[in-house]
A = this chain, B = another copy of it.
Amino acid sequence: MPRAEREQQMMAVAEEVFAERGYVATSVDDIAERCGVSKPMIYEYFGSKEGLLVACIRQARTELAKATTESVIGAQSAEDALRRGLVAFFEFTDTHRRAWSLMLRSEAAVAGPAAAAEIEALRQEQVEIDVALFRSFLPDAPEVELEASAHVVVGACERLSLWYVSRDDVTAEQAADHIMRALWTGMQSLVRD
């Protein structure tokens, strides 16, 4: 099997088994065996067990960034952009449940500094997107308020995503709606302080 294909297989298997049994409880030998190869191949391609996890996270991160970026194309207003971004986010976390719970339940911090940095980068990316968005419709709000609000939204989304994937009766649209209702009015009031 060519390298690129084998790497994808390894990442898919790793994502599945890490999410299922946890990072610590999973041995590299396990993953290798499920792929039908031996352990040194994984070290050849990913350098370390943590490197394999980082690759999984990075791939998911790239896909999330792509999905949310594309979703806001053609938005009619800041509110519309925020809502579209939220829907895309919740859809992503729903279709990539394994990768997402991997990030959040987060084996990452425990796995090592590189994996932890990858997760922090993901959050920082989301925070920056939100700050930019808020600034666009609240140009007079102080920077510290925008940043705090962005962290509030990012945290709210993280938790709500984990909650709603555990419920079959809540859709991505409803989750996005909920964040909008809960936060939108408050966000707008920031400019009055």
A interface residue numbers (CB < 8 A to B): 22-25, 105-107, 109-113, 116, 123, 144-145, 147-149, 151-160, 162-164, 169-170, 175, 178-179, 181-187, 189-190, 193
Between A and B, 14 residue pairs with Cβ closer than 8 Å are A22-B109, A22-B112, A105-B116, A106-B110, A107-B109, A110-B111, A123-B159, A152-B179, A152-B182, A155-B155, A155-B160, A158-B158, A158-B159, A186-B186
The 6 A-B pairs at the shortest CB distance, nearest first, are namely A155-B159, A110-B110, A182-B186, A105-B109, A155-B155, A185-B185
A169: which B residues are within 8 A, CB to CB? 144
Cβ contact within 8 Å between B181 and A184: no
Q: How many Å from the CB of A118 to the closest CB on chain B?
A: 13
A106: which B residues are within 8 A, CB to CB? 105-106, 109-110
A170: which B residues are within 8 A, CB to CB? 144, 148
Cβ contact within 8 Å between A187 and B182: yes
Partner among B112, B144, B178 whose Cβ is within 8 Å of the Cβ of A152? B178
- Copies per complex of this chain: 2
Cβ contact within 8 Å between B148 and A160: yes
A178: which B residues are within 8 A, CB to CB? 145, 148-149, 152
Tell which of A148, A183, A193 has the most Cβ of chain B within 10 Å. A148
Cβ contact within 8 Å between B175 and A185: no
Cβ contact within 8 Å between A22 and B181: no
Cβ contact within 8 Å between B181 and A112: no
Known: A22-B113, A107-B109, A155-B157. 7 other contacts (CB 8 A): A106-B110, A148-B175, A149-B178, A152-B178, A152-B179, A158-B158, A181-B186
